[in-house]
Structure 1
């Protein structure tokens, strides 16, 4: 599973992590989730940063995976309270992101699935939301079957908002924040069948102008960009939505008057040149995308170049694509 994924590891990825760092992290995690807890969940990330003398963004992939192992060993500690479970889920996903890239990550993802899927300890909204964040963060390590299972479990409430027929009947219980997390999760599931992606994209285009959900417009645009992306982050090319359909999406996005920064990302991902006649949108649409990007405040010269000529994503664009930065030393291989 992990060998074919498009990630590169730089020489400074930290091949060998100081065992003292892993031991220090283990001690802190045990104080939060062990038998005698002295660190509250809200203070845990700060305590880890202080013990390691590193910001979380500087934790190397091997250190992160070591922390993941500790969290799995301490998983009984998530039962202490809803706050403990929410923090445990959050850190579990953070330390295993993006679900691939290191040896044995497929095994780690399988262990995570067995520990979490259908096994939340609390019915609290915080547990549900952090489980969605966890699945989004490691979605790239899922099999197609696992991605479909996750999607089917969230499809009901999601369609209650997205499907115009269901939306008109009312009874929608999702909050804007819950919808944002659902959308970001679904946008990360690159192995979904193209038919599902196409339907989701169409519904999102219809939901964009609905004022009730205006607070979610950024997440809608981000998800549209991921659904229509011409070059998947990790999925196979046969999961890419047909260019003719994405051209129709772009026609709507080009005319959208929005200040959301995610609009630039969606336009670039859907209009990006890849020199593949099966995935490239038409030249006329591509030129319209370029013109729209150029007309936006603070236009990105690199994003415009990607649409016009193709090329590799910059690190900032890769971070926007994935929703957060990759672990130190890992980069997308286009």
Structure 2
């Protein structure tokens, strides 16, 4: 229907919501059905910059979090084929943002090799080293959020990402990525790849002096970094965890966050969404 009219492409999400309902209420079955339809027309996604932007935006929403539904592995194979193709309109900054958001939202469905490829794609644009030939890669804030979702990266790569976040913090203006990078309990990764406790402790030192009422994501980031797992190789010292628990209590943070740093517990559904950075479609099997 959108043809080559960018305005029609821009209206697509509103039209979908008029039929299905608000996107936050789309079920996993509805999301994956839309994703399948979008993947079928992937060769035509670049008709205009607006077509590509909207195609990426809706696809990323419909594929989140990259696993948990029948045939998701097949869908991830299809979407990963686009990585080497790259953007059809690399001069469009908004499209770059949606590109990185797509990979963040499906990161949990990507293996370590593919997550490493994404790290390699953004590292030259954040770390100050030589940049590859070709189009300028826009969207440093979304690059940093993407890195935070790449839990299968080795710990040293996460340390680099944490340093880049501090360098470019004003672009992100949220501590959520640091909490994800320093988390003691990964969402989809393995315990072997978490950053060492001394690195996590140093990141905690950045958070403790802040006004958590004003610093976006700082309180939850501190809770994730100080979270109890029961594994002494990952957990911070008890006195440090007590300090975080006391601070969370004084700031009247949600009780599940305080509980996270005092004993080993599973995350609530709401806090799982907070870790992920988006709501999750109903009907997914995350465990």
Q: Supply the distance in 2 between the matched residues of 1:153 and 1:263 (Cα, whole angstroms).
A: 27
Answer whether contact 2:6 2:50 (CA < 8 A) is retained.
no
- Deviation (angstroms), 1:44: 1.1
Distance 1:70 1:216 in 2: 33
| Richer in helix (by share) | 1
Shift of 1:101: 0.7
- CA distance 1:304–1:331, change in 2 (3 Å): farther
Rounded Cα–Cα distance in structure 2 between residues aligned with 1:45 and 1:202:
37
2:49 is matched with: 82
CA offset digits 1:101-143 (Å, max 9, x no partner): 1122112111101134333111211221111010000011111
Q: Which has the higher contact order (CA 8 A, sep 6+)?
A: 1
Aligned residue in 2 for 1:61:
28
Q: Secondary structure at the match of 2:36?
A: helix
1:50-85 residue CA offsets vs partner (Å, 9 max, x unmatched): 122x22122111221111111111223322210000
Q: Structure 1, residues 275-314: CA drift from partner, whole Å, max 9, x if none? A: 1111111101101111222233x42221111111231212
The aligned residue for residue 249 of structure 1 is 203
Gaps of 5+ in 1: 1-30, 167-172
SS in 2 for 1:325: coil
Change (3 A) 1:182 1:307: same
User: Equivalences for 1:236-315 in 2 at 5 Å?
Assistant: 236-258=190-212, 259-296=214-251, 298-315=252-269
Please give the root-mean-square deviation of Cα atoms over the aligned residues, in Å. Answer: 2.3
Give the corresponding residue for 1:18: none
- The Cα of 1:331 is off from its aligned counterpart by 6.6
1:214 is aligned to: 170
Given that residues 4 and 47 in structure 2 are in contact (C-alpha distance below 8 angstroms), is that contact kept between their aligned partners in structure 1? no
Check whether the contact 2:69–2:285 (CA below 8 A) recurs between aligned residues.
no
Structure 1 residues 332, 181: closer, same or farther in 2, change over 3 A? same
Task: State the Cα distance separating 1:200 from its structure 2 match.
Answer: 2.5
Q: Pairwise mapping of residues 1-334 of structure 1 onto structure 2 (< 5 A)?
A: 31-32=1-2, 40-52=8-20, 54-123=21-90, 124-160=92-128, 178-205=139-166, 207=167, 213-214=169-170, 216-218=172-174, 221-258=175-212, 259-296=214-251, 298-330=252-284, 332-333=286-287
Runs (5+) with no aligned partner, structure 2: 131-135
